[in-house]
Amino acid sequence: MKHTAVQVSIAFTIMILLTGCLYPEGELSKNKIPNEAQLKMMQSAVDSYQEQTGGLLPIKTKDKDTPKFRKYLINFKILKEHNIISEIPGTAFENGGIYQYTIIHAETDPTVKLIDLRVTDAIRELNMKINMYRNEHLYPPFGQRIADGVFKIDYKKLGLESEPYVVSPFSHKNLPIVMDAKGKLYVDYRIDLNEALKEYDHKMKKGEDIRTLLAEHSPFVPSYSLPYTIQNGEPVFRTQID
C-alpha cells in the first residue's frame, strides 16, 4: 500500500513538471485569467501618474480616428520610468499574457479595462482570408444584409464550413463576425448587449451608445465593435434607428 502511494506521488509530480514544460509561460493560466488585483494595481498606477503629471494619461500615441476602446492603450514603459510600477502585469500582452490594458472614459473618469487579444487574433485571421479572396474577386464576400451598411459574411466563398465567430469575453458565447460596406470586420455583440440590458439597471435611451453597459459591468471592453443603441428595449446597430 505504501509502495503504491509513493508511485502515485511520483506520477503526480512528473505530471506537474511536464505541464510546466509543455506550456510556455505565456500560456500558463495565470496569464489567461483576468486578475482583479492586477486591474486594481493598474488603476492605482494610472491615478498616481495623473497626480504626478497634472492630469496626463500614461498611454501610447494613437491616431485620432482609432476606435475608442483601443485608443487609450496603457504605456507600461512610462509608468516604470516614473517608478510607479516595478513590473508589467502577468496578464498583459507585453509580459506574455493575452490582454491589452486600455483606458475608457479618458477625459472624465479614466478607468482601466482589458482587451481580449483572442478576439483580435480571430479578426486578424479572418481578415487574411478575406484579403486573399479580394485579391481574386475585388469585392468582399458579402452575405445577407443585417442593417444599413452591415452584412453577414458569405463564409462559403471563403471555403469555411460555418459562419465565423469569436468567443465572447463577457458571456463566453459564440458571437458572429460581420462586415461593413468596405469589408471591415467587427464582432456582433447583440447577444451580450441583450443580456446586459435585461440584467443591469440602466437609463439608456434611443440613440445613446449602449456598449458602455458591457464595459462598466465587466473587466473587458467590446473591442472591434460597431456602435449600438436601444430601440423597443432591444439592442440594434445605431444605423437602424428611425
Flag whether 58 is in a domain.
yes
List strand residue ranges (DSSP E) for 41-171, in order.
99-104, 111-116, 142-147, 150-153, 165-167
**Number of neighbouring beta carbons within 10 Å of residue 183:** 17
Residues 192 and 134 occupy one common structural domain: yes
| Nearest-angstrom CA–CA distance, 165 and 123 | 9
Residues 92 and 136 occupy one common structural domain: no
pLDDT greater at residue 28 or residue 193: 193
| Nearest-angstrom CA–CA distance, 112 and 39 | 7
Residues 90 and 127 occupy one common structural domain: no
Flag whether 16 is in a domain.
no
pLDDT greater at residue 24 or residue 212: 212
Of the residues 68, 87, 109, the one at which a domain ends: 109
Q: 16-26, pLDDT tens digit by residue? A: 333 333 434 44
Share of the chain above pLDDT 90, in %: 81
Question: What is the tally of structural domains in the chain?
Answer: 2
pTM: 0.84
Q: Which residue has the cell 464576400?
A: 141
Residues 167 and 65 occupy one common structural domain: no
Using alpha carbons, select from 196, 1, 204, 222 the residue that is nearest to residue 104.
Answer: 222
Flag whether 95 is in a domain.
yes
Of the residues 109, 140, 156, the one at which a domain ends: 109
Q: Say yes or no to pLDDT of 174 above 60.
A: yes
Give SS3 for 197: helix
The parent domain of residue 76 ranges over 27-109
Specify whether the CB–CB gap between 110 and 57 falls below 8 A. Answer: yes
Of the residues 48, 81, 109, the one at which a domain ends: 109
Residues 44 and 85 occupy one common structural domain: yes
Which helix (DSSP H) or strand (DSSP E) does residue 213 occupy?
helix 212-216
Residues 142 and 219 occupy one common structural domain: yes
Residues 165 and 66 occupy one common structural domain: no
Strand-pair partners of 177: 187
Flag whether 53 is in a domain.
yes
